Structure 1
Amino acid sequence: MELIRTNYSSGAPLEEKSGYSRMVKVGPFIYIGGTTAVQPDGTVYGEESAYEQTKYILEKLVKLLEKAGSKKEEVIRVKGYATDMKYAPEVAKAYSEIFHDIKPLFTVIGTPMLNRPTQLIELELDAIIGSKIE
C-alpha cells in the first residue's frame, strides 16, 4: 500500500531556512510539530499567560488540521512542553476547553526554556483522519 506524504508550511521563515515542515500528512495520519504562540507579526501572544498561549496555540493547531482535511475530533495525542510545571494547571484548563469530550492522550513535559523567553508553552499534535470515538 502506497501512502502519499504532503508537507505543510505555516509560512514561518525558519521552516524553509532550517528545512522542516510545520505539519506532515501521510495517508490518514497527521503530525504537527512544535508550535508556539508566535503571531504572524513575530510577537508572542499572551506573553505573561500560559493559559492564553495554550488557547492560542490550540486554535492555531485546529486550523492547521482543517487545512489537511481533518478536525479536532480526530486528534489522538497532544504533547506539551512548559518552561515551568507551575503552568500545568493553566495549560490543562485551556486544553480541556477544546478537548474535554474528545479525550486524546495528553502529556506536559517540563523544559528549561523554549526559543524565546516569553514563550511559556509549545505543543505538538497527532491526528488520524477517519478515527471515531467509541
Structure 2
Amino acid sequence: MGFSRAIRRGVHIAVAGTAPIGDDGTTVGQGGVYAQTVRYLDIAEAALKAAGASPGDVVRTRIMLTDVSRWKEAARAHGERFASVRPACTFVEVSRFIDPDWLVEVEIDAVLD
C-alpha cells in the first residue's frame, strides 16, 4: 500500500490513523471504545518513540469514532495519556472503518523542540 505508521520530517512527526489491532492481528477490545483507544495509543506511543518523540511532544490529536455519542470513552483514554500535555484535540464521527469491529481510530501530530 505504500504508507508509514509514522513519518518524521525535520521536527514534525505525523502518526497515521491506526486501528486497534493486537500483535496477533486481531481486533483488541471488541465492542469497547475505551479499550480500543488505549490500544491505539500504545501503538502510537511506540511509533512516536521510534521517530524520536514522546507523548509530551504531541500537539494535536484527531479521534474518529463510528458512534460519536461514545466520545467520553475515548476521551477517558486520551486524558490518561495527555492530561498534562493538553494537545489540540478534535472528535469526529465517521460512517465506518475497514473492519466493522473497529470503533475508533486516532491520528497524532507531534513537534520536537
Q: State the alpha-carbon separation in 2 of the partners of residues 71 and 21 from structure 1.
A: 18
- Indicate the residue corresponding to 1:75 in structure 2: 58
Q: Which runs of 5+ in 1 are unaligned?
A: 1-17
Point out the structure with max Rg over C-alpha: 1
* 2:98 corresponds to 1:115: yes
> By how many angstroms is 1:80 displaced?
1.2
Q: Which residue of 2 aligns with 1:39?
A: 22
Deviations 1:36-64 (A, max 9, x none): 10122210000110000001111211111
Query: Following the alignment from structure 1 to structure 2, what is the Cα–Cα distance between the partners of residues 127 and 61?
Result: 11
Counterpart code for 2:99:
R
Aligned length in residues: 113
- Structure 1 residue 20 displacement after superposition: 1.3
- Percent identical among aligned pairs is 31
- CA contact under 8 A between 2:57 and 2:112: conserved in structure 1? yes
Q: Distance in 2 between matches of 1:93 and 1:73?
A: 18
TM-score normalised by structure 1 residue count: 0.82
Separation in structure 2 between the aligned mates of residue 21 and residue 107 of structure 1, nearest angstrom? 22
| Bigger relative contact order, structure 1 or 2 (CA pairs below 8 A, ≥6 apart) | 2
1:21 and 2:39 correspond? no
Cross-structure match for 2:83 = 100
Q: Which runs of 5+ in 2 are unaligned?
A: none
